[in-house]
Amino acid sequence: MKSSALSLRLVPAQLWVAYGLVLVCVLLLGFNTEDGFSPDRLLRILSNAAPLGVVAIAQTLVIINRGLDLSVGPIMNTAGILTAVLTASPGASLATTVPIVLIVGASIGVINGVMLAFTRIPPLLGTLATATVIQGLYSLITRGQPRGSVPPELRVLADHRVFATPFSGSLIIWIVLLVIVGLVLTRTVAGQRFYSVGANPRAAWLSGVPIKSHTLIAYTASGLLSAAAGILLIAYSGSPSLTAADTYSLNSVVAAVIGGAALAGGTGGMVGTFAGVAVLAFLTTVLTSFNVASPIQLVVNGAVLILMLFVNGRIAKRRAHA
């Protein structure tokens, strides 16, 4: 059942394009390699994309609310570094470490949220500044060398299948988060109001929607989800890093936008963002399978993004004139 909150005609058109692109990549992948269409292979690709997937959820939520969070990458790095450090200390376990890391991420989100809700600083700059400060802080504190190690229980998340299903722990966590956030956005009053705030903040404000609260919640959730994504990332990579997640900031924006979210706010959703992440993940894999050198991959990624932006723009324009 579709929610009346979403503008029905806008999202599907862009979704068709995004999912169409995913399909093309999957087909290319299938025909080009021996594993072909093996579901195991496809699921593994998605599983590896789980960190980007989770952080894209965060970004989509913020963008729907007419915001932008460029600090998600550094928050992911922080989460990774912190997890490694904490689990290396005596008496620590995942059960105690993970909540702490999530709380730290959420706290950074609160700082972003307070800054953006109560001042007129634009989100681009505000979160860019937060990002830079965070980067400086953890570079300073770790003196360039993050310590600690990733506990094997965590690595299991990324590698092993859960209960003999073909899904890895990371993938399940991503899907579950997608579903939860998606349900909140489409089925709850609060979720619908995020769209209203994004669509016309002033109209929503005048009608009594608590704008500041929504902004605060959006960025706090973003911080929380980014921390989770950071944990998923080191589960996959095996070692904490100061820079591994730097590209995730902008890539999460790309995934959201490919999935139909507009930087102006008010549109977007989990279904679309999933497609956006899948496009990025499969595109990279396809290019690698064709032995395309990484510089060319950069070019192709950029070109595909521009194409998607252009197409989405045309769709939006056609709608506005309808």
Q: Which residues, 25 to 84, sit near another protein by CB under 8 A? A: 66-68
For residue 238, give the DSSP letter: S
User: Considering CB under 8 A, how many residues would be counted as binding another protein?
Assistant: 84
**Amino acid at position 1, single letter:** M
**Among 95, 119, 152, 163, which residue sits at the site for another protein (rule: CB under 8 A)?**
119
259 vs 266 by CB, closer to another protein: 266
Sole window of 83-91, 160-168, 260-268, 278-286 interacting with another protein (rule: CB under 8 A):
260-268
**Least distance between another protein and beta carbon 54 (Å):** 21
| Helix or strand run (H / E) with residue 25 | helix 10-32
CB 287 within 8 A of CB 297: yes
x/- track of binding to another protein for residues 168-197 (CB under 8 A):
------------------xxxxx-xx-xx-
263 scored as a contact of another protein (CB under 8 A): yes
Backbone angles phi, psi at 161, to 5 degrees: -85, 150
- Nearest CA among 40, 37, 78, 84 for reference residue 235: 84
Give strand pairing partners of 161.
168
**Least distance between another protein and beta carbon 158 (Å):** 26
290 scored as a contact of another protein (CB under 8 A): no
162 scored as a contact of another protein (CB under 8 A): no
- Footprint of another protein on residues 205-224 (CB under 8 A)? 205-211
**Among 140, 145, 163, 164, which residue sits at the site for another protein (rule: CB under 8 A)?**
140
**Least distance between another protein and beta carbon 110 (Å):** 16
**Least distance between another protein and beta carbon 141 (Å):** 9
**Amino acid at position 259, single letter:** G
Q: For residue 31, what are the CA distances in angstroms to 39, 46, 84, 120, 279? A: 14, 18, 40, 52, 17
Q: For residue 204, what are the CA distances in angstroms to 24, 62, 182, 184? A: 40, 16, 21, 19
- Nearest CA among 57, 17, 2, 22 for reference residue 269: 57
253 scored as a contact of another protein (CB under 8 A): yes
**Among 105, 113, 123, 182, which residue sits at the site for another protein (rule: CB under 8 A)?**
123
**Among 7, 32, 96, 288, which residue sits at the site for another protein (rule: CB under 8 A)?**
7
**Among 100, 172, 175, 199, which residue sits at the site for another protein (rule: CB under 8 A)?**
199
Residue 277: CB partners within 8 Å, gap ≥ 6? Answer: 49, 52, 53, 56, 255, 259
Angle (CA) 242 100 153, round 5° = 75
107 scored as a contact of another protein (CB under 8 A): no
- Nearest CA among 132, 127, 141, 133 for reference residue 82: 141
202 scored as a contact of another protein (CB under 8 A): yes
**Among 106, 131, 178, 278, which residue sits at the site for another protein (rule: CB under 8 A)?**
131
**Least distance between another protein and beta carbon 152 (Å):** 31
